[in-house]
Structure 1
Amino acid sequence: MTLQWQAAWVAVTTHPLFSVGVTLLAYQLGMTIYERARKVYLQPFLISVVTVISVLLACGVPYELYRTNTTLLTLLLGPATVALAVPLFLNLERIRQLFGPIMLTLLVAGTVTTLLGVVLGWLFGISEQLLMTLTPKSATSPIAMLVAEEIGGIAALAAVFVLLTGVLGAILGPVLLTRFGVQHPAARGMALGLTAHAVGTAQALQEGEECGAFSALAMSLMGVATAVLLPLVVTLLR
């Protein structure tokens, strides 16, 4: 009887619906906790990640199997990203009015946030390979992984740096912006999108449609700039 229960348990935990269900329930749990507590450090993304990891470890489900079983959810990331164009379209006139400041912010803030990571890494004496892995940390994971690999970094580790950057940016960003008196939705959105990419954009959408639109725009522009300019700059400096 025990062997039958073990076989049944293995069959349940290895089924694709188990991994998908755990992911969706973890996200719903994160959203519920955040909406009730309204604490910036209780990010739904962070709670979801911790919950999924805990369940997988407790059930003995290897990550490779989980990744395979959640392929459908991964495919849906594409349409979800494209859906960010909706708030952009709704705020298109506002974006046109602020086109100059947007480009200036991208140039200055994008350069500073990239150089800051490089300088801090260099001061702490990390290796060149690790430094190249850290450099594209403010872009979204797919872009950061490709760029890191192209300039001599480690793609898998780049995804970890992106994750940490996004979570810390979404947690500390709104607090710091409020502390320094930054209240304009467009300015807050640009700051969150440039520094904390998709996780920051999710936080910006919580603050409002305009804030989310400018965050999505900043995230997109930062991703394009990182993919096009960063490999070129690194090649020229070597």
Structure 2
Amino acid sequence: MMLWFAMPLTALLYLWVKKLARRYQHPLVNPILLPALIIIALLIASGQDGGAYQAGTQPLNRLLELAVVAFALPLYQQAAKIRQQLAPIVLCCSLSALISVGTTLVIGGILQANPELLASIATKSITTPLAMSVSQAMGGIPAIAAGLVIIVGMMGAIIGFPLLRWAGIHHPEAQGLAIGAGAHAIGTSAAAEEGPVQGAFASLAMVVSGIATAVLAPPLFHLYLWFMQ
């Protein structure tokens, strides 16, 4: 039964929470977080198979691929600004990837975490397909990597902009770069709703940070393993 109702249920929940978000303007009223929690609760309560739900939402997954490609539009619209600041943008996103992976490995070393687990969580701040591929190449568990990516993205979408404003960061380009580098596609979606400049720079940061993490994470992880021997 969940197979037939999966797509309309997902769409209706998203639209309902989206309406609530416009009304209440609260970071926890998030159109990604709340529908996900409701659907998880319904699956558990009804005993339905998660695979059936996933199969029922395949058309939405296809549309999601097109939506990700559509992130290129704000990049094109902000191309002049991006060209003027490309070098510092690449540097900042690369440093963000270095800090994200590095702090994960340092904290993991202090806590004596399992290397397989560390390889799974070191890619937490990049988009899901990249995170799964890179973590698997390092000996991690792709399912854990994907789960953490979703959690980090939701956290960024919920508290990212309130946290930036609380810290006194109001520049739209800086906001976009921070959200895109830290919360990948889910955060970029929230940034696009915040404004066209934030959306464009978040899209760029998501791409650059993903590439930087894919390049930096494996050698840093192997360096960590060598150091911990």
Normalised to the residue count of structure 1, the TM-score between the two structures is 0.88
- Map of 1:54 onto structure 2: 41
RMSD value, Cα: 1.6
- Tell me the SS of whatever aligns to 1:120: helix
2-structure distance, mates of 1:36, 1:116: 38
Structure 2: give runs of 5+ residues left out of the alignment: none
Write the letter of the residue equivalent to 1:23: T
- Map of 2:72 onto structure 1: 85
2-structure distance, mates of 1:17, 1:86: 33
Offset, 1:41: 2.3
- The answer to whether the Cα contact below 8 Å between 2:96 and 2:181 also exists between their aligned partners in 1 is yes
The verdict on how the C-alpha distance between 1:121 and 1:175 changes in structure 2, with shifts beyond 3 A counting, is farther
- Map of 1:123 onto structure 2: 110
The equivalences for 1:44-193 within 5 A come to 44-193=31-180
Offset, 1:100: 2.2
2-structure distance, mates of 1:41, 1:215: 21
- Map of 1:40 onto structure 2: 27
Write the letter of the residue equivalent to 1:135: A
- The answer to whether the Cα contact below 8 Å between 1:193 and 1:219 also exists between their aligned partners in 2 is yes
Write the letter of the residue equivalent to 1:121: G
Does 1:30 pair with 2:17? yes
- The answer to whether the Cα contact below 8 Å between 1:118 and 1:134 also exists between their aligned partners in 2 is no
Offset, 1:213: 0.5
User: Is the deviation greater in 174-183 or in 79-88?
Assistant: 174-183
Offset, 1:113: 2.0
Write the letter of the residue equivalent to 1:58: A
2-structure distance, mates of 1:26, 1:189: 27
- Map of 2:187 onto structure 1: 200
- Map of 2:211 onto structure 1: 224
- The answer to whether the Cα contact below 8 Å between 1:147 and 1:227 also exists between their aligned partners in 2 is yes
Normalised to the residue count of structure 2, the TM-score between the two structures is 0.91
- Tell me the SS of whatever aligns to 2:32: helix
Structure with larger RCO (C-alpha < 8 A, sep 6+): 2
- Tell me the SS of whatever aligns to 1:76: helix
Aligned length: 225
**1:192-224 C-alpha deviation (Å, 9 max, x unpaired):** 000011121122112100001100110111112
- Tell me the SS of whatever aligns to 2:93: helix
Offset, 1:182: 0.8
Structure 1: give runs of 5+ residues left out of the alignment: 1-12
Structure label with greater radius of gyration: 1
2-structure distance, mates of 1:218, 1:25: 31
